[in-house]
A and B are shown apart, each in its own frame.
Chain A
Amino acid sequence: MSQLLTRAPASGGLPAPVPTGPVRLHINGETQTLQLAPWTSLLDALREYAHLTGTKKGCDHGQCGACTVLVNGRRINSCLTLAVMHEDDDITTIEGLGTPDNLSPLQQAFVDHDAFQCGYCTPGQICSAQGLLNEGRAHSEAEIKELMSGNLCRCGAYVGILDAVSEVANSQGEMVK
């Protein structure tokens, strides 16, 4: 799908191919050059072009947090940004945090605390929690709740999610109360 078609030019004839271009992204420590149209969201670039389907498309409007990834260590909604805006940024997805044989502390804590039911929001929850730990502002359960409010879980696994994030924040010495 490197070429999409637009409406035919006024002169008739074949539809003009829309301009795609090479976009260099650093994803999970690897540099990839993808051929993308300007309107490809970072989320679609990750899923459909880099074939990293761990990042999930929930609402696609920045309301659910399922698409959360880390850009230069900071969590953002990948659905509300264009891939072309992230040339040379360092992007980390759930696939870059750990592996099935070597889970990250948050991934392990989510398993230990049964912090999911259907699992669809989980990659976004974990990337968001990692972003929160990077920010260093998870000082209490009240703060974790407020600062994780950009990630919705329609199964309602919030109790387990809070336990999982609290445990890792505690183990890293962030919790003060």
Chain B
Amino acid sequence: MYPFTYSRATDVADAVRDKAGHDGSAYVGGGTNLIDLMKMNVEQPAHLVNVAKLPLAKIEDLPNGGLRLGATATNSDTAWNEQVKARYPLLNQAILAGASPQLRNAATNGGNLMQRTRCYYFYDLATPCNKREPGSGCSAIGGFNRIHAILGASEACIATHPSDMCVALAALAPTVRVSGPQGERSIAFEDFHRLPGDHPEFDNTLAEGELITSLDLPEKGFAKHFAYLKLRDRHSYAFALVSVAVGLEMDGDTITDARLALGGVAHKPWRDHSAEALLKGQHATAETFGRVAAHVVANAVGQGSNDFKIELARRAIVRALKQAAEGKQEAGDVYLGGQ
């Protein structure tokens, strides 16, 4: 790797101060994505501020009935937390559908939100990429784009966000608490990641120097009727081609509340409010699910190699809605959903 300097922060204020004091610096948590990008010279921070051992690893009840997930709690500890399993099984299943046990043991919750696209061209310094080098062009448009976006893409970038955990979070709608040089603030999860537009170099809406301190889940966890369905090229340890997170509340066979988010299809976890509105008040039937799924992909655009994702997403939404309505998926120690 290339030379850089390193420090280990003692508390949040120290981390924020240390980062502000070093031009071109970055926070590192588990490092499972950042260190890989540094090995490839895609990211080249001059200074790393280690935040992995900050006292932000707790998972604790909130006074409003929600649950706070500390930013430095590992993905493993979060997935297997008893509160998460009991109250937010969708999150348990989505986390366990991602990466490998070794990676989940190192990766932090804050870092999961911060991970970058796995677009081949983003990683390949020999090719133009607007996300890596703004203004250089997009090699994926007209190139190999099997893993790329079908929703919300722009002429500048068709990359996808790679996280499974974030798809469940998009459905569960926590707030992201951050601390930075200007103080603390909360960001609605939906507003955290952004679409590429003309500035795909920005994955999210964090201001310079801001550090994620926690994810605060609201009380509603859709623990009875949920599904996380992940479709990929191999059975395990692969990124999603399409994934679907569903949370439903049911009164008999009538849907009284609904959440629907997709992964692998857009620059951000893709929550569809209009589809959720279409589900509310409807009977949980194949006809309803088919109509909603068709609505979600109505404006989807293929790029050639990823055209299959439009039909795959439509069918995956139908299946995930059916699974959620049936209420058969459970929290567990592994992801076995969709089988």
Interface residues of A (CB under 8 A from B): 4, 6, 18-19, 37-39, 41, 60-62, 65, 68, 74-77, 80-82, 84-85, 87, 128, 131-132, 135, 137, 139, 142-143, 145-147, 149-151
What A residues does B8 contact at CB under 8 A? Answer: 85, 87
Complex alpha-carbon distance, A147 and B100, angstroms: 7
- A-B contacts, 17 listed (Cβ < 8 Å): A18-B3, A38-B4, A39-B1, A39-B3, A62-B32, A62-B102, A74-B76, A76-B102, A76-B106, A84-B6, A84-B50, A131-B102, A137-B333, A143-B334, A146-B236, A149-B237, A150-B237
Q: Of A4, A19, A77, which contacts B106 at CB under 8 A?
A: A77
What A residues does B236 contact at CB under 8 A? Answer: 145-146, 149
Question: Closest residue of chain B to A88, judged by CB?
Answer: B53
Question: Closest residue of chain B to A138, judged by CB?
Answer: B333
Q: Could you count the A-B residue pairs with CB atoms below 8 Å apart for me: how many are there?
A: 99
What A residues does B4 contact at CB under 8 A? Answer: 38-39
Answer whether A41 and B48 are a contact pair too, CB < 8 Å, given A77-B102, A84-B6, A131-B101: no
Nearest Cβ distance between residue A73 and chain B, in whole angstroms?
Answer: 10
In contact, A76 and B105 (Cβ under 8 angstroms): yes
- B103 in the interface (beta carbon within 8 A): yes
Q: Of B3, B38, B39, B50, which contacts A85 at CB under 8 A?
A: B50
In contact, A68 and B102 (Cβ under 8 angstroms): yes
Answer whether A150 and B32 are a contact pair too, CB < 8 Å, given A4-B3, A143-B334: no
What B residues does A80 contact at CB under 8 A? Answer: 30-32, 35-36, 103, 106
In contact, A128 and B333 (Cβ under 8 angstroms): no
Nearest Cβ distance between residue B331 and chain A, in whole angstroms?
Answer: 13
Interface residues of B (CB under 8 A from A): 1-6, 8, 28, 30-32, 35-36, 38-39, 48, 50, 52, 76, 80, 99-103, 105-106, 235-237, 333-336
What B residues does A87 contact at CB under 8 A? Answer: 8
In contact, A6 and B31 (Cβ under 8 angstroms): no
What A residues does B39 contact at CB under 8 A? Answer: 60-61
In contact, A75 and B36 (Cβ under 8 angstroms): no
In contact, B30 and A81 (Cβ under 8 angstroms): yes
In contact, A139 and B333 (Cβ under 8 angstroms): yes
What B residues does A6 contact at CB under 8 A? Answer: 3
In contact, B105 and A38 (Cβ under 8 angstroms): no
Answer whether A62 and B101 are a contact pair too, CB < 8 Å, given A77-B106, A80-B31, A142-B336: no
Complex alpha-carbon distance, A4 and B2, angstroms: 10
Nearest Cβ distance between residue B32 and chain A, in whole angstroms?
Answer: 5
Complex alpha-carbon distance, A143 and B339, angstroms: 13
Known: A81-B32, A143-B333, A146-B335. 13 other contacts (CB 8 A): A18-B3, A41-B1, A62-B32, A62-B36, A62-B103, A75-B102, A80-B35, A81-B31, A84-B6, A145-B236, A147-B333, A149-B235, A150-B101
Nearest Cβ distance between residue B132 and chain A, in whole angstroms?
Answer: 17
Complex alpha-carbon distance, A57 and B335, angstroms: 28
Nearest Cβ distance between residue A77 and chain B, in whole angstroms?
Answer: 5
Complex alpha-carbon distance, A33 and B56, angstroms: 28
In contact, B101 and A132 (Cβ under 8 angstroms): yes
In contact, B36 and A150 (Cβ under 8 angstroms): no
Question: Closest residue of chain A to B96, judged by CB?
Answer: A146
In contact, A77 and B32 (Cβ under 8 angstroms): yes
In contact, B52 and A135 (Cβ under 8 angstroms): no
Question: Closest residue of chain A to B74, judged by CB?
Answer: A74
Complex alpha-carbon distance, A76 and B99, angstroms: 12
Q: Of B3, B106, B333, which contacts A81 at CB under 8 A?
A: B106
In contact, A75 and B35 (Cβ under 8 angstroms): no
Interface centre among B5, B32, B48, B102 (most CB of A within 10 A): B102
Nearest Cβ distance between residue A24 and chain B, in whole angstroms?
Answer: 13
Question: Closest residue of chain B to A21, judged by CB?
Answer: B6
What A residues does B5 contact at CB under 8 A? Answer: 19, 38
What B residues does A75 contact at CB under 8 A? Answer: 101-102, 105
What A residues does B2 contact at CB under 8 A? Answer: 39
Nearest Cβ distance between residue A42 and chain B, in whole angstroms?
Answer: 10
Question: Closest residue of chain B to A152, judged by CB?
Answer: B237
